[in-house]
Chain A
Amino acid sequence: MVASLVSASAATRTVIVSGLGGEPRYAEAFARLAESAAERARTTGAEVTLLTGPAATAGALRAALEGLAGASEPADAAAVILLGHGSYDGETYRFNVPGPDPTDAELAEWLDALEAGRQLVVVGTSASGAAADAVRREGRTVITATKSGTEQAATVFGEYWVEALGATSADTDKDGRIGAAEAFHFAVASVERHFESRGLMATEHARLEGPDTRIVLSRLAPERLLDAESRLLVARRTEIEERIAELRTERESMDIEAYFARLQELLLELAVIERDLEDGS
């Protein structure tokens, strides 16, 4: 199988929430990040629910997740992205929003209603590592901005996560789309640089757990409408990509020169297809 990202199309639904900022400038920054993330998600055709500012209450989040649960089916994909501040008192994680803060247990309960076969939960807040245990489920990718609840300083992970959604250098497989793993690795590298360049000890260490759900979070270029000829080319492209993926699994057992010769053969055909697709667009 080709490990390409699965297009969101109509079956991917995304909930993005920016919580309280403590100070107005933080709240505004979180809201801007959430809006950017929503904008990027819409480039994939996903249905997006965005909650920011006073609207981002626990009740609204619960309702949004209930709506997501009601609409999603096992074949679908669901992404939930929480940005802002979180807290941890040694026992309970809380996502800081206007009004009562939802706890890790409540978030887990609301998320458990989701039936989407592929799920991504990103908790990009301080202390978010404390939420990982509660929200972890089989088949769900969980990303947290910190490794534990004790990393309680304001995080920069969310900022770089959102930057990744529009960065060509985050697209490490160069397919024009940003997936969760790509965004995560870009954000982690950026967070490291952030602290290093300021001569500071890193106060956050992000975690990624669970399978690669291959949910597309962003497209770097708009999807093209294809004519019949192009559709044939795309089908052939998929076929070649599958062959390349198969070939890669045989790399260790093959003569290396033979491997690269075969790889080159396939890639040359792929190159011609890409050129033709480009010319036809």
Chain B
Amino acid sequence: MAPDRRHPSRTWLGTAILASVLSAPAVGAGPDECRRLAFTDRDAAADCYRAVLLDPSTRVEAEALWGLGDWAGADRAFRAAVAEAPEDPDIRVRWGRLLLAAHHDADAEERFQAALAIDPENIEAQVGLAEVAAGRFDARARALAQGVLDRTPAHAGARFVLARSALEVGEVETARELLRPVAETEEPEARLQAMALLAAADHLEGETESPWTHRALAESPGYGAVFETIAHFHVITRRYEQAVAMLERAVAIDPRLYGAHATLGVNLLRVNRFEDARRHLAYAWEGEPQDAEVVNTLRLLDSVEERFDLTEEDRLILRTHRDETGALLGYVRRLVRDGLRVMGERYGYVPEEPVVIELYPHHDDFAVRTSGLPGLGILGATFGDVVAMDSPSARGIDEGFDWASALWHELAHVVTLNATDNLVSRWFSEGVSVLEEWRTGPSASRSILIDFIEAVRADRLLPVTDLDRGFMQPDFPGRVVLSYIQAGLLCEYIEETRGVAALAGVLRAYAAGEDTPAAVLAGVGATPEQLDAEFDAYLETRFEGVDPAAFRAALEDATTLAKGADPAAAASAARAAVGFYPDYVGPSSPYPLLAEAEAHLGRMEAAIATLAGYWRRGGRDPRALGRLVEWLSAADRSAEALPVQRSLALVTPLSPDARRRLGDFLLESGAYAEALDEYRAHLSLAPHDLADAHYRVARAHRALGRVAEARRHVLYALEIAPRFRAALSLLLEIEG
């Protein structure tokens, strides 16, 4: 993240403000003087802080300890200072800054809020809150900073928040206008910060040797933070290799820039350089052991080292928890192969490097892996060739997490990011990913949340040129989800009206460095405004006849009636809900309710048809699919049950029963190799009946003519259960 959050020598506060905050030290210089020294002579600055420590004031002591890198001591001293002067908002603000520097954002926010409770007009507390919001990529950051700037137009901190916000969404000129006056200010910290941000602006426009970098380094040769700042915006725009290069320069000229080491470590992970990452993170931890992001990431690395398998193949590098590798490897391999082939054909690009897939059984590990990035959502994250996401055990399909579709979505990002050297805009990359989930993905659902349809009717969508903001700086909690769907539908509309070649054309334009208006014009042949107008009309048609209120009411009725004793009434309500919105197969879909009611009424054919329709539309609730398989099997329709069981096993790959059952269907249908894969996966999940699991593997081997493997597994089965008759028979069969 931003370099200026870690150390008082790199805060955005000017000395004038600090002077008002801090009482004069009894001996020698004050903390602000020490801070100035840090730009030219680090050792002298440390001596200065040590001298300041003699000051009896706890608030000064806190500043000095912070300056000396004793975070915990500074935290204690600020706590004591607040206890001594509970009505002083400025101490709370400085304490908040310390916490913000250590990534304890929630605690920092609390301190800023407490300061504002004492003094609602406290400018620095408002700026602090704006920075907290900016760190979360929350659109409120701009409003808070603008509020400060309206009252104090020269405030450097507020300008920085606004400039950063502008740079995050590519508004480079706006940022420059905000920063230029600060770059000429008398205050060295603020001046250097402004130069660093101006250098970042140049980099965002492809100017890799910015004059602002040289100017900053000429003024302060050890100012590695200039590269750290540039790196931040490379990260924001997903150019991780470039970010790593910048961060390496940052720590080369300032090895004690622990924050840069930390950020470098995190970004080295994103380019799959685990060993280098560990080295820099460990160094960062030595310097700043309080940094939560560093501690969490090092813990994650320990966990990966101890409990994860690394599978390396030509097209795939997979990191999976040991307990899950056997069950997931085959599916991941197939999804990667198919995904890259299908999307490669559609978009004319296939990544050359193997794709790295990391699947985390604990969501917290995934969260650590993706921390510090804007609007990533919660399904997965792609860093160029590296995809990190929750494994199916972290969250289930019941929570709306269809892991295979999520992986497909991320693979589309691998294509769009690599095809454009990460120059693709956020909305387009997400749009293509969502479209591919719907169009070519393993579930191929076009089920749109009813909330989106309501948003369309309420005119809450963003114009295409502003759609990036929906991901990066959402203006309300549901905006990110709406933006995903909007981007997906926009790409769907482009494909439906102009063909997939138009989407490939947009991608090529981004690869050539065009911005969104130019890329849209080049690929779609329309201006953004024309596209927005066409899209509005398309949405009206697409959702024509969908009545959200009536759907919700009918679904509620159906859900209530399903618990009662009148299946005819339940069927009627569920059928009405289906009629109001037939495409909806997401969580709490009415289809399973209708099928169960029909089954209660003895109308099994209708019940099967209902669930089959649900499944074909992309419905993937495991209970519903299990029911459909059961009914189809009972009706002696195994051939129809097989593809449904495939879907069920794919959405619940860690369910031993689902994998075994699919193996049985496949073996019965003569697909022996696939059956073997399923039985092996079943065996890897340590099923309750281990002898039976080995026996099934042996049967599949036997069917494939692999006698030695069949013999070995039947012996494994009989070693556990010597009286296992079916296995004994198979042994006799094998041995002739």
Measured in the bound complex, the distance between the Cα atoms of B727 and A263 in whole Å is 14
B721 engages A272 (CB within 8 Å): no
Decide: A263 near B723, CB < 8 A? Known: A169-B689, A169-B692, A275-B729.
Answer: no
Decide: A174 near B735, CB < 8 A? Known: A199-B399, A267-B715.
Answer: no
Measured in the bound complex, the distance between the Cα atoms of B719 and A199 in whole Å is 36
A157 close to B (CB within 8 Å): no
Chain A hits for B723, CB < 8 A: 173-176, 241, 270, 274
B732 engages A268 (CB within 8 Å): yes
A173 engages B399 (CB within 8 Å): no
B563 close to A (CB within 8 Å): no
Chain B 693-736 residues near chain A, CB threshold 8 A: 711-712, 715, 718-725, 727-729, 731-732, 735
Tell me the nearest residue of chain A to B393, going by C-beta. A196
A272 to chain B, nearest CB (A): 7
A267 engages B718 (CB within 8 Å): yes
Decide: A186 near B688, CB < 8 A? Known: A264-B731, A274-B728.
Answer: yes
Measured in the bound complex, the distance between the Cα atoms of B700 and A147 in whole Å is 40
Decide: A174 near B727, CB < 8 A? Known: A241-B722, A267-B715, A268-B732.
Answer: yes
A243 to chain B, nearest CB (A): 10
Measured in the bound complex, the distance between the Cα atoms of B718 and A169 in whole Å is 15
Decide: A274 near B689, CB < 8 A? Known: A264-B711, A267-B715.
Answer: no
B287 close to A (CB within 8 Å): no
Chain A hits for B720, CB < 8 A: 172-173
Chain A hits for B623, CB < 8 A: 197
Decide: A267 near B722, CB < 8 A? Known: A275-B729, A275-B732.
Answer: yes
A244 engages B722 (CB within 8 Å): yes
Q: Inter-chain contact count A-B, CB under 8 Å?
A: 78
Measured in the bound complex, the distance between the Cα atoms of B398 and A199 in whole Å is 7
A236 close to B (CB within 8 Å): no
A172 engages B732 (CB within 8 Å): no
A248 close to B (CB within 8 Å): yes
B46 close to A (CB within 8 Å): no
Chain A hits for B396, CB < 8 A: 196, 199
A248 to chain B, nearest CB (A): 7
Tell me the nearest residue of chain B to A176, going by C-beta. B723
B188 close to A (CB within 8 Å): no
B688 engages A172 (CB within 8 Å): yes
B721 engages A174 (CB within 8 Å): yes
Measured in the bound complex, the distance between the Cα atoms of B731 and A143 in whole Å is 37
Decide: A175 near B721, CB < 8 A? Known: A169-B689, A185-B688, A199-B399.
Answer: yes
Instruction: Identify the interface centre among B399, B690, B720: most chain A CB within 10 Å of its CB.
Output: B720
A271 engages B731 (CB within 8 Å): yes
Chain A hits for B657, CB < 8 A: 193
User: Which of A169, A260, A267, A275 contacts B688 (CB under 8 A)?
Assistant: A169
Instruction: Identify the interface centre among B688, B691, B731: most chain A CB within 10 Å of its CB.
Output: B688
A174 engages B724 (CB within 8 Å): yes
Chain A 235-273 residues near chain B, CB threshold 8 A: 240-241, 244, 248, 260, 263-264, 267-268, 270-272
A264 engages B715 (CB within 8 Å): yes
Interface size class of A (residues with CB under 8 A): 20 to 34
Interface of A is mostly: helix
A278 close to B (CB within 8 Å): yes
B295 to chain A, nearest CB (A): 28
B622 close to A (CB within 8 Å): yes
Chain B hits for A185, CB < 8 A: 688
In the complex, per-residue mask of A181-195: 1 if CB is within 8 Å of any chain B CB, else 0: 000011001000100
Decide: A173 near B721, CB < 8 A? Known: A197-B622, A260-B712, A268-B732.
Answer: yes
B551 to chain A, nearest CB (A): 24
Chain A hits for B398, CB < 8 A: 199
Instruction: Identify the interface centre among B622, B715, B722, B725: most chain A CB within 10 Å of its CB.
Output: B722
Measured in the bound complex, the distance between the Cα atoms of B724 and A176 in whole Å is 9
Interface size class of B (residues with CB under 8 A): 20 to 34
Chain B hits for A189, CB < 8 A: 688
User: Which of A173, A186, A260, A267 contacts B728 (CB under 8 A)?
Assistant: A267
Chain B hits for A176, CB < 8 A: 723
B688 engages A270 (CB within 8 Å): no
Measured in the bound complex, the distance between the Cα atoms of B689 and A264 in whole Å is 21
Measured in the bound complex, the distance between the Cα atoms of B722 and A196 in whole Å is 33
In the complex, per-residue mask of B56-77: 1 if CB is within 8 Å of any chain A CB, else 0: 0000000000000000000000
Decide: A268 near B725, CB < 8 A? Known: A169-B689, A186-B688, A199-B399.
Answer: no
B689 engages A271 (CB within 8 Å): no
A173 engages B691 (CB within 8 Å): yes
A210 to chain B, nearest CB (A): 21
Chain A hits for B692, CB < 8 A: 169, 172, 174
Measured in the bound complex, the distance between the Cα atoms of B688 and A264 in whole Å is 24
A257 to chain B, nearest CB (A): 10
Chain B hits for A170, CB < 8 A: 688-689
B725 engages A274 (CB within 8 Å): yes
Measured in the bound complex, the distance between the Cα atoms of B711 and A268 in whole Å is 11
Chain B 217-234 residues near chain A, CB threshold 8 A: none
B491 to chain A, nearest CB (A): 32
B689 engages A270 (CB within 8 Å): no
Measured in the bound complex, the distance between the Cα atoms of B731 and A196 in whole Å is 37
Chain A hits for B691, CB < 8 A: 172-174
A259 to chain B, nearest CB (A): 9
Decide: A278 near B715, CB < 8 A? Known: A169-B689, A173-B691, A267-B731.
Answer: no
Chain A 99-152 residues near chain B, CB threshold 8 A: none
Chain A hits for B729, CB < 8 A: 271, 275
Tell me the nearest residue of chain A to B717, going by C-beta. A174
Measured in the bound complex, the distance between the Cα atoms of B726 and A271 in whole Å is 10
Chain A hits for B721, CB < 8 A: 172-175
B731 to chain A, nearest CB (A): 5
Chain A hits for B732, CB < 8 A: 268, 271-272, 275
Measured in the bound complex, the distance between the Cα atoms of B721 and A169 in whole Å is 12
Chain B 619-662 residues near chain A, CB threshold 8 A: 622-623, 657
B395 to chain A, nearest CB (A): 10
A166 to chain B, nearest CB (A): 15
Chain B hits for A241, CB < 8 A: 722-723
Instruction: Identify the interface centre among B399, B692, B728: most chain A CB within 10 Å of its CB.
Output: B728
Measured in the bound complex, the distance between the Cα atoms of B689 and A38 in whole Å is 25
Tell me the nearest residue of chain A to B397, going by C-beta. A199
Measured in the bound complex, the distance between the Cα atoms of B689 and A169 in whole Å is 6
Tell me the nearest residue of chain B to A274, going by C-beta. B728
Known: A174-B724, A267-B718. 17 other contacts (CB 8 A): A169-B689, A172-B691, A172-B692, A173-B720, A174-B692, A174-B721, A174-B723, A176-B723, A197-B623, A244-B719, A244-B722, A248-B719, A263-B715, A264-B735, A272-B732, A274-B723, A278-B725
- Please list the 5 inter-chain residue pairs (A to B) with the smallest Cβ-Cβ separation, ordered nearest first: A174-B724, A174-B721, A271-B728, A189-B688, A175-B723
A-B contact pairs, 6 of them (CB 8 A): A173-B720, A173-B722, A174-B722, A240-B722, A260-B715, A268-B735
A interface, CB within 8 angstroms of B: 169-170, 172-176, 185-186, 189, 193, 196-197, 199, 240-241, 244, 248, 260, 263-264, 267-268, 270-272, 274-275, 278
B interface, CB within 8 angstroms of A: 396, 398-399, 622-623, 657, 688-692, 711-712, 715, 718-725, 727-729, 731-732, 735
